[in-house]
Amino acid sequence: MKTINDFNFEEKKALIRVDFNVPLNEKFEVTDDTRIQAAKSTIIKVLEDGGSAILMSHLGRPKGVQDEFSLRHIVEKVSEVLGVQVKFVANCVGQEVEDAAANLEPGEVLLLENLRFHPQETAGDFGFAQQLSKLGDIYVNDAFGTAHRAHASTTIIAQFFPEKKCFGSLLAKEIESIDKVLSSGEKPITAVLGGSKVSSKITIIENILDKVDHLIIGGGMTYTFIKAKGGQIGDSICEDDKQELALEILKKAKEKGVEIHLPVDVIGADAFDNDANTDVIDVDMIPNGWQGLDAGPKTLKNFHDVILKSKTILWNGPLGVFEMENFANGTITLGHSIAEATENGAFSLVGGGDSVAAVKQFGFGDKVSYVSTGGGAMLESLEGKTLPGIAAIEN
């Protein structure tokens, strides 16, 4: 795996694909700079070597050129994070851009306009990638969030740098972290899968059953499993057409010697509402008119014991409707358990939209080993797929 540490960037222009797809408020101010912070070490390494950095990114899903998606809105924040006044050019291809790149001095940073203002970016257009490739000497992919897309700037461009392409430090860390869970991690390995649907996690479950020792299932998909086993789930969320699949997963896990841990009790509510009446109910005896919205105390104790015995932990998906304060306890308690195991020496990887949101919301970011920056890319990696953006650097 070639990373930026395999190159010296002195007098070189690094063309870096970053993921600056950050949230903006109505005043076009960055409300969460996590992704900019994540790219910082790669950019600083280039500058400290005596090179210059040309940054390419997308922002949102614009239909053609739309000012609200212009990367000029984030120049100030990127400059602040890097401690360098970042230059900006109002396009990403063409003569003006090529001149701006050519005139860049060592130690300087140039941010290009939103790649997705050009439909050729998402189409993976060869000519567009070739135009981008003229801007730098070495291509660095540091955008894990888009590594599962065969776009011009993430995949197609790499062929124009046969010997001069590498992973940035963020992307290298993502690859190493997922590899720890899927192949090189210390046993016992535990995966915690939450969220509402079995259907969205089925390929992940099938791929990781050969790798893990324990599989904790929580969140809304619990009830598909419980109903399949003959339990009463009241009005809880359930994918009726996936019950057979749930039984199949339980059978496969048993054959492979993987212990599956399902909730035994839940916090039930008589409405999908933070102010609903609640009770602790056995997971397979939820009365009609009630639904399970969080993990119960016995369940959390069981999960805690499994996690503390684990040496490698993957967490993907919450245990309850954590967006509502009264149903956040399960997810928060799980976070504390994983944090404790991590402190005791376990490796913990958190990934996938909702669990990352929960980790940020409840302050566990620095208490786990690694928080993935790429939702879709992380899930596809866990499904065992080869990501085009990664393959383009490795080939």
pLDDT (tens digit per residue) in 297-325: 999 999 999 999 999 999 999 999 999 99
- Express as a percent the part of the chain with pLDDT over 90: 84
- Asked if the bond preceding 188 is cis, omega within 30° of 0, the reply is yes
Q: What's this model's pTM, rounded to 2 decimal places?
A: 0.86
d(CA 157, CA 165): 10
Name the β-bridge partners of 192: 216, 315
The stretch 275-290 carries a mean pLDDT of: 97
The stretch 239-265 carries a mean pLDDT of: 96
pLDDT at position 213: 96
d(CA 125, CA 87): 26
142: annotated binding-site residue? no
11: annotated binding-site residue? no
**Looking at the annotation, which residues are catalytic?**
35, 197, 353, 376
d(CA 15, CA 52): 9
DSSP state of 183: I
| pLDDT beyond 90 at 273 | yes
pLDDT tens, position by position, 18-28 = 999 999 999 99
19: annotated binding-site residue? yes
Q: How much is the mean pLDDT over the chain? A: 95
pLDDT at position 392: 96
β pairing state of 370-371 and 347-350 = parallel
Task: Give all strands (DSSP E) within the chain, no chain letters.
Answer: 13-17, 52-56, 87-89, 109-112, 138-141, 165-167, 189-193, 214-217, 232-233, 259-261, 265-269, 278-282, 285-286, 291-295, 312-316, 347-350, 370-371
55: annotated binding-site residue? no
d(CA 266, CA 372): 29
| pLDDT beyond 90 at 191 | yes
Which domains, ranges and CATH numbers included, belong to the chain?
4-170 (3.40.50.1260), 185-382 (3.40.50.1260)
- At residue 324's C-alpha, the angle toward residues 357 and 372, to 5°, is 10
pLDDT at position 65: 95
- Residue 145's Cβ-side half-sphere holds a number of Cα atoms within 13 Å equal to 18
